Structure 1
Amino acid sequence: MTNLELYAPAPSPVEGDLAALLGDCARMTPHWAAPERVVSLPVPPSLIHGVTVPEGSARLLDAMAVYGY
């Protein structure tokens, strides 16, 4: 006996396409207000508390070239 149904049927096409999605995004852009510039000030280390990092994670980040300068 042979099972001819090896794969699930392809999903039905979604309404619209990439062009429709881009059009929707373009129409929504005026509703997404963003500040001109966000200024974030450095936080003194004395205000940072309650954060713990597992030793293994700290060693891993320290060994990574991007983080372990």
Structure 2
Amino acid sequence: MTNLKVHAPTQADFDGDLASLRGDCARMAPRWTAPDRDAARPVSPSLIHGVSVPPSSARLLDGMSEYGD
């Protein structure tokens, strides 16, 4: 079955304050569901092989300023 409900997009307030951010989050929260919480299980070190980052993502991150600049 197709969901025919259409929600009008709201404008993002990039220059807003914390209250604006909290309001945005409150409007989005009903659409999100949290997964059932499972107990975290330890992972064997032999299964950890590092992280692969595509070159385009690495260049993007390299071009960003450091936190606190």
TM range (shorter): 0.3 to 0.5
State the TM-score, normalized to the length of structure 2. Answer: 0.35
